[in-house]
Amino acid sequence: MTVHFAFQNTYAALPDGFFARVAPTPVAAPRLIKLNRPLAVRLGLDPDLLESPEGAEILSGKRLPEGAQPIAMAYAGHQFGHFVPQLGDGRAILLGEVIDIDGIRRDIQLKGSGPTPFSRRGDGRAALGPVLREYIVSEAMAALGIPTTRSLAATITGESVMRETVLPGAVLTRVASSHIRVGTFQYFAARGDTEGVRRLADHAIARHYPQAAQAERPCHALLEGVIARQAELVARWLQIGFIHGVMNTDNTSISGETIDYGPCAFMDHYDPAAVFSSIDEQGRYAYANQPRIALWNLTRFAECLLPLFSDDKDKAIEEAQSVLAEFPGRFTAAYQSGLRQKIGLFTARDGDEALVQDLLDAMAKNNADFTLTFRGLSAAAEDAARDQDVRAHFADPVAYDEWAVRWRQRTSEEPQTPAERAGVMRTVNPAFIPRNHRIEAVIQAAVARDDYAPFEELIAVLAKPYEEQPAFADYANPPEPHQRVLQTFCGT
């Protein structure tokens, strides 16, 4: 039997200016590192066949599956605030689209599959480390319940790539609701190609916001939909301590999924100014800046749509500003709702926002671990004796003690039992996140020793982030001082 993908190719049916037709570059000796078998089943694929030698060849780009129409997508983007009119898929090739078992259309894309017309002097390849990082973090995000692209497979190519040093080459098979970005719209808008923007908007509406097609003003409804999803997404990032690291407009998906895991990281101790990306020298994409940057990116998206709003530019701008004004309220509502859940509140009352902010301020001042503080609160909500576990995260435990008095007074005003409160809190406060030092240890084992046992174990632990997993309790711990990872890097 042969590996079968029931490909559809709606994006490849758009005009040629939307992409370049290019096949993956064959690799020397592909070997499958990891197949995401549950995801394969959801995509209607046979995991046993994908784990065969033929499957490894397809997942590495050495063999093109039947029905694929490989393309590299065109897009532009603001990178750290500076506009680049042509970027595009420089090391990724979209094979096609499949309909999953829920009836949802999914892109299947190879990252690191060779040069394309958009490579800009790059080799189009990926090193093993960034492939493993994206596999780990994207699948952890999915398990945490955060909208995200997914990783179907990681394949080693049998070839080397040259970065700062010689590294093993690899390919990631990425799955996404689509790869349409704010930067995709910018590509056409920058060229004054209003018809291109219109075709792209129609495609995005049909694929992601079908209800917008029935609206009185479909393009306004499209903007409203993208704003709503981005507000919710970024609120969820902040609630789990996630820092994207490079929120360029070309890394902002209009589907509302987290996309492009380059220099991303989860915070250890809480710090609103935390930056891990080695290239973010000004802190543009720091943890607490992410909502502001999301709105900035959405404003760039709205600018692309202006010609579709009205022929009167002033009127179009006014209408766009009116829609964009919805973002702060949507974000704040989602963010505060999530924070109330994290401290076990079931209703919204005056003073709740200040109560949570005071905890965050105390955590920042006392270098308290973000994830473990909230996870500890989940236990303390059920048993006050567990306060000891939480206060141990604070440089000055009295700061927690003073806050906990107010917290318990507030929770006493609600009818839920301590067990009920703790049970809900455990569903939103993970015990396990993909900590930077753990990811780096996995990459080092794979690159230096071709040892994937640490990778497999970390993936298994992160698949159940809200469960206790006593046998793997060490994975919940923050790094020792000598293990701290202060910078992460792009995968290019």
166 close to 141: Cβ distance less than 8 angstroms = no
376 close to 368: Cβ distance less than 8 angstroms = no
Cα 138 from chain centroid? 6
Phi–psi pair at 337, nearest 5 degrees: -60, -45
* Three-state SS at 15: coil
Q: Report the C-alpha gap between 411 and 461 in whole angstroms.
A: 32
Which parts of 69-127 fold into alpha helices (H)?
none
Strand 126-127 relative to strand 19-21, pairing: unpaired
Would you list the DSSP string of 402-434?
HHHHHHHHHHTTS---HHHHHHHHHTTS-S---
Structure tokens at 480: 């020792």
Amino acid at 265: A
What's the predicted TM-score (pTM) here?
0.96
Q: What is the pLDDT of residue 492?
A: 43
Q: What is the pLDDT of residue 3?
A: 83
Task: Single out the catalytic residue among 107, 250, 260, 387.
Answer: 250
Would you list the DSSP string of 17-78?
GGEEE-PPPP-SS-EEEEE-HHHHHHTT--HHHHTSHHHHHHHHTSSPPTT---EEE---EE
Structure tokens at 327: 């973002």
Q: What is the pLDDT of residue 486?
A: 62
Ranges under pLDDT 70 in the chain: 485-492
Share of the chain above pLDDT 90, in %: 93
Q: What is the pLDDT of residue 122?
A: 87
Q: Report the C-alpha gap between 104 and 43 in whole angstroms.
A: 9
Share of the chain above pLDDT 70, in %: 98
Q: What is the pLDDT of residue 491?
A: 56
For helices 218-239 and 326-342, the axis angle rounded to 10 degrees is 30
Summary mean pLDDT of the chain = 96
* Three-state SS at 136: helix
Any catalytic annotation for residue 250? yes
